[in-house]
């Protein structure tokens, strides 16, 4: 009997040596070079770059495949090999792969707090020595802000987000409501719609981020972009009246029935569907929601206007500022064997996706887009670009992008508690300060 155990244990030991017990073992970086073992080969070495992204659904998927095919046709020596993973699953996958030292050569990432741990752990290539001024000139001002850490650029953005207040003009006309430009006008609009049995606003709080967008927007109106950023960077306190007032305004809206009876039970998919059925007067949300509103199946097609969120009468913020900023980026792995080529390809991918995303209304570009055929652009997306972004005094990323993982979650949770009237505005400010800036 003992012999059996002995046999098993010894064989297991051998096997475990083969498996390798080290978690942090560093593999040879990438496993992407296909069939080119002769490392001493002169130039014209054929290189295959692995690229992971999240474009898996139509139309993004086909568009991206087209973009990659064009590159591969033009660059026979540098081939891009794409692997797409669904949005949520991708978050788990990319973190696991990076943690195990198996990052692809080029990868999609959200900017701000999502990429920060990778950058800090030295897993991402700093692009400063690769990015030429010529490239940077093609980008919009501030395009790289959200992917810059400690003064170094670690990625190339292509899409930016902007929060917009979508208003259903048909309902506004029908009940003769003025499209609100100040918070008190917003409250009036809410009351009027409620009196007429129309749901004034809707938000998918079950997903947490939609309500957080509203809070971050109001906070920006109250504080102004500088104070918002200072607080997010720990240089100012969330107990500042601006952030407390913003929470108070959320509760004013909730208590006035702006979002109907229950706010916590609905997903954003459900909320948007209800808005697109023409049952709701207003929706505050991201620019990408425009593409669904303008889709053929939408019952509000052509009836929606995208406007700036109303100003706060007592707020310090400039009423042209918006929440958003560069959010989608291409990163290059620090372990890649082909740094030069990977950066070149990542730059191409970013630029091409910026254009394609704008045309289809999914993304607002962080690259200059004058060369695009303006008539091809999704009308609502153009409206957001022209009315909200152009001429804005500044912008702040939505906070769950700016903050890192745990803090982002804390912020979302606290905003949900504000929506549910579980905490007072003062408690919100104090807890934000304590949990996010406290350590």
Residues 5-34 that bind another protein (CB under 8 A): 5, 7-8, 11-12, 15-16, 18-23, 25, 27
Q: Is 359 in the site for another protein (CB under 8 A)?
A: no
| 164 binds another protein per the rule CB under 8 A | no
Print the binding letters for residues 394-423 with another protein: x by CB under 8 A, - otherwise: ----------xxx-xx---x--xx--x-x-
| Cβ neighbourhood burial of 435 (10 Å; 0-12, 13-18, 19+) | middle
Query: Whole-angstrom Cα distance, residue 238 to residue 230?
Result: 10
Specify the residue, 118 or 367, whose C-beta has the smaller distance to another protein.
Answer: 118
CA distances (Å), origin 9, targets 2, 14, 19, 51, 193: 11, 9, 15, 41, 73
Helices and strands in the chain: count of H runs, count of E runs: 17, 12
Handedness of CA 26, 32, 36, 40 (dihedral sign): negative
Q: Is 194 in the site for another protein (CB under 8 A)?
A: no
C-alpha to C-alpha distance for 109 and 333, rounded to whole angstroms = 11
Q: Which stretch binds another protein (CB under 8 A): 40-48, 174-182, 287-295, 344-352?
A: 287-295
Task: Rank residues 146 and 276 by Cβ distance to another protein and give the closer one.
Answer: 276
Over its C-alpha atoms, the chain yields an Rg (Å, rounded) of 24
Min dist. Cβ of residue 134 to another protein (A): 30
- Residue with tokens 């810059």, as numbered in its chain: 148
Q: Fill in the per-residue mask, 372 to 391: x = in contact with another protein (CB under 8 A), - = not in contact.
A: --------------------
Contact between 308 and 388 (Cβ < 8 Å)? yes
Please list every residue from 221 through 240 that binds another protein, using CB under 8 A: none
- Member of 289, 384, 389, 436 binding another protein (CB under 8 A): 289
Work out whether 97 is an interface residue with another protein (CB under 8 A).
Answer: yes
By CB under 8 A, tell whether 302 contacts another protein: no
> Is there binding between residue 123 and another protein (CB under 8 A)?
yes
Stretch that binds another protein, among 120-128, 132-140, 174-182, 316-324 (CB under 8 A): 120-128
Binders of another protein: how many residues, by CB under 8 A? 87
Taking CB under 8 A as the binding criterion, the range among 2-10, 36-44, 130-138, 302-310 that sits at the site for another protein is: 2-10
Distance of alpha carbon 169 from the chain centroid: 28
Beta carbon nearer to another protein, 61 or 368: 61
Burial category of 437 from C-beta neighbours within 10 Å (exposed 0-12, middle 13-18, buried 19 and up): middle
Show the DSSP H helices in 287-374 as ranges: 289-293, 339-360
Which residues 45-84 are close enough to bind another protein by CB under 8 A? 50, 52, 54-58, 60-61, 83-84
């Amino acid at each position: 009997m003992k012999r059996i155990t002995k046999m098993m244990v010894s064989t297991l030991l051998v096997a475990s040596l083969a498996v390798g017990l080290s978690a942090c073992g560093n593999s040879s970086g990438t496993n992407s070079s296909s069939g080119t073992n002769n490392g001493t080969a002169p130039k014209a070495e054929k290189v295959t770059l692995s690229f992971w992204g999240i474009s898996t659904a139509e139309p993004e998927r086909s568009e991206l495949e087209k973009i990659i095919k064009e590159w591969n046709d033009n660059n026979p020596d540098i081939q891009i090999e794409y692997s797409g993973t669904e949005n949520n699953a991708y978050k788990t996958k990319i973190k696991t792969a990076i943690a195990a030292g198996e990052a692809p050569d080029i990868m999609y990432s959200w900017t701000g707090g999502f990429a920060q741990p990778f950058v800090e752990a030295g897993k991402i290539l700093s692009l400063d020595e690769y990015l030429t001024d010529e490239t940077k000139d093609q980008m919009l001002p501030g395009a790289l802000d959200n992917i810059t850490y400690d003064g170094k650029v670690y990625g190339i953005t292509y899409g930016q987000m902007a929060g917009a207040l979508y208003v259903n003009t048909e309902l506004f006309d029908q009940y003769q409501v003025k499209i609100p430009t100040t918070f008190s006008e917003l409250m009036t609009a809410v009351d009027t719609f409620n009196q007429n049995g129309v749901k004034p606003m809707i938000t998918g709080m079950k997903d947490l981020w939609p309500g957080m967008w509203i809070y971050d927007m109001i906070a920006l109106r109250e504080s102004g972009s500088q104070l918002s950023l200072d607080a997010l960077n720990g240089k100012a306190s969330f107990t500042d009246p601006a952030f407390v007032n913003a929470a108070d305004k959320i509760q004013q809206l909730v208590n006035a029935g702006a979002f109907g009876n229950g706010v916590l039970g609905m997903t954003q998919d459900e909320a948007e569907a209800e808005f697109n059925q023409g049952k709701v007067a207003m929706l505050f949300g991201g620019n990408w929601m425009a593409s669904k509103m303008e889709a053929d199946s939408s019952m509000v097609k052509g009836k929606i206007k995208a406007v700036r969120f109303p100003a706060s009468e007592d707020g310090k913020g400039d009423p042209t500022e918006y929440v958003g900023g560069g959010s989608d980026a291409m990163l290059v792995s620090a372990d890649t064997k082909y740094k030069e080529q990977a950066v070149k390809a990542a730059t191409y991918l970013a630029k091409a996706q910026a254009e394609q995303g704008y045309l289809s209304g999914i993304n607002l570009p962080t690259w200059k887009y004058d060369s695009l055929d303006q008539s091809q652009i999704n009308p609502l997306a153009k409206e957001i670009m022209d009315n909200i972004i152009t001429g804005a005094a500044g912008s702040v990323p939505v906070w769950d992008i700016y903050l890192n993982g745990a803090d982002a979650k804390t912020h979302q949770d606290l905003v949900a508690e504000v929506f549910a009237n579980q905490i007072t505005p003062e408690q919100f400010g104090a807890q934000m300060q304590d949990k996010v800036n406290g350590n």
